[in-house]
Amino acid sequence: MTRKQKKSLIRIIVSAVLLGAAFLIQKTVDAPFWVYLLIYLVPYFTVGYDVLIKSARNIAHGDVFDENFLMSLATIGAFFTGEYVEAVFVMLFYQVGELFQSIAVGKSRKSISALMDIRPDSACVVRGGEECVVSPDEVEVGEIILVRPGEKVAIDGVVVEGKSSLDTSALTGESVPVNVLTGDAVISGSINKTGVIKIRTTKPFGESTVSKILELVENASSKKARTENFITRFSKIYTPAVVGAAVLIALVPSLITGQWSEWIHRALIFLVVSCPCALVISVPLAYFAGIGGASSQGILIKGSNYLEALAKTGCVVFDKTGTLTKGVFRVTSVSPVGVSDDELLYLAASAEKYSTHPIALSLREKCEKTAEPTDVREVSGEGVEASVDGAAVACGNARMMKRLGVNAPEVDAAGTVVYVAADGKFIGHIVISDEIKPDSAEAVRALRDGGIGTVILSGDKKSAVDKAACEIGVDASYSELLPEGKVDMMEKIISESAGKVAFVGDGINDAPVLMRADVGIAMGALGSDAAIEAADVVLTDDRPSKIPKAIKISRKTTAIVKQNIIFSLIVKGAVLVLGALGIAPMWAAVFADVGVAVIAILNSIRAMKIK
């Protein structure tokens, strides 16, 4: 418990003891009514002074119809009608509920607080042969940082010396440590477990993985679900309406029957019940808990509106390369025409020297020596054109060759075919194969079991896409699509789908279709910055099996929200009617307000523990 919560608990205990003493005095001592009023005012002000102050302050600022106003009006009215015990007990019970609520909300924030702990406080940078401890945002791209066992990796980079195992559980939800060697990429926020490693930074701190994750989570609360917005609008109309109804309950029957005390008491019960705090607190809390629980498992949902949309997903559309496949390509065959194998690889790898596409990486890995290209132009959906040693080199797919008027033979191979031309002449092709991720088929199977359709949209050649689709088991696949072709196909799928359509991608060319989809899901660990920016959901460890888990979390969270709404409205509606009829006592009204809120809040916390 926090210090504030402990103080609140002490106030509640002291007030309860004073209430018991006052009740005992009333039952054993014969005194005028004002004496009883005074001895009950002591426990009342002890436990409720802050509620009265908040109510007065809010009224002064024009915010009248909140729970503090309702509790103040109801309890003060109870004193005027002679219900001293009830007045103190109602305020006491309310504060007990507020304490439980505060503790419950605090627990729901643990996941987010734990996530915030991944932010590194400092970085040990090696400058001029000396180690300097500086703030992470002072480290430049390309500098060397030293990370010892037990320390956090401050900035994304590549290991240049040493080997170790890293704990990435706070980022990805994966408990198994990741072993890294020289040349391996590492992400900020990871905890070094064993050896000392030196890392060359590849991004500034503000663009590192840890900074992006924290930004995504911190901004998630600003994007509300439709249910949240409805509850907010509902409360603004509902509360003044029930206050007006309470006034009518107090005045109309009293004027007819003359029983002012009885009907004012009923109106006060009606007021206490009317407070919509169970809905106003529990609904946002459930979404917050769901987002926090998902983040602890490596699923970053940018807002409750996306979580709500994810729950209605009827079809998941995948990009292939880097999403369902590892994106780790290997050159499997080299077929030169009029040049040697080495020369073909040299020209292709040189042209692709600055491309971040996985195919370019595989070409550079296969070729030991490359030239410095000039006049580089990357054509989205086709390939790269560049000048290499004075030759105009084009390296890409069959569409590029056709556009450039290069006579290239059609090649049918189990992999991606990279065509290479120099000075307008076809000089050969290179076949590159990708490997399907181990959990891709599992993810598709889980989606199908949940009644969700699966589709692949890819710019790769038909034979490679069909092969992957068959192995993974998707319902349909479309190949050789340019970025605009993916968007057009996504439009068609959305128009034909009964539910929301999610798209999962990782590349720059996926950004347009990620934005067009009802829910965009980006592979965050290896995915491009553009894809992560355009997406609504980010998977920090690139595992497709997290997609059905994300949908499961969203569906269970929205189910909890519906449970809270239905439960709150039924209980409140019943007690409102019973209170107006004079059947429900004040304590039942307090239960319908504070008790229901506590139950709804405890129910909301379950969203944090969905696996």
Catalytic residues: 319
Contact 287, 228 (CB under 8 A): yes
What is the CB-side half-sphere exposure of residue 136 using CA atoms within 13 A? 25
Q: Rounded to an integer, what distance in angstroms lies between the CA atom of residue 476 and that of residue 481?
A: 14
Which residue, chain included where needed, has tokens 């290997």? 330
**SS3 of 156, please?**
coil
Q: Which residues contact 64 (CB under 8 A, 6 or more apart)?
A: 58
Q: Rounded to an integer, what distance in angstroms lies between the CA atom of residue 555 and that of residue 543?
A: 20
Q: What is the DSSP string of 252-311?
A: HHHHHH--HHHHHHHHHHHHHHH--HHHHHHHHHHHHHHHHHHHTTTEEES-HHHHHHHH
Q: Left, alpha or beta for 134 (phi > 0: left; psi -120 to 50: alpha)?
A: beta
Q: Rounded to an integer, what distance in angstroms lies between the CA atom of residue 303 and that of residue 275?
A: 27
The H or E element that residue 187 is part of is: none
| Closest C-alpha to 413, from 361, 451, 465, 336 | 465
The CA-to-CA distance between both ends of the chain, in Å, stands at 27
CB atoms within 10 A of CB 160: 12
The H or E element that residue 476 is part of is: strand 476-478
Beta-ladder partners of 336: 428
Q: Rounded to an integer, what distance in angstroms lies between the CA atom of residue 235 and that of residue 238?
A: 5
Q: Rounded to an integer, what distance in angstroms lies between the CA atom of residue 345 and that of residue 359?
A: 12
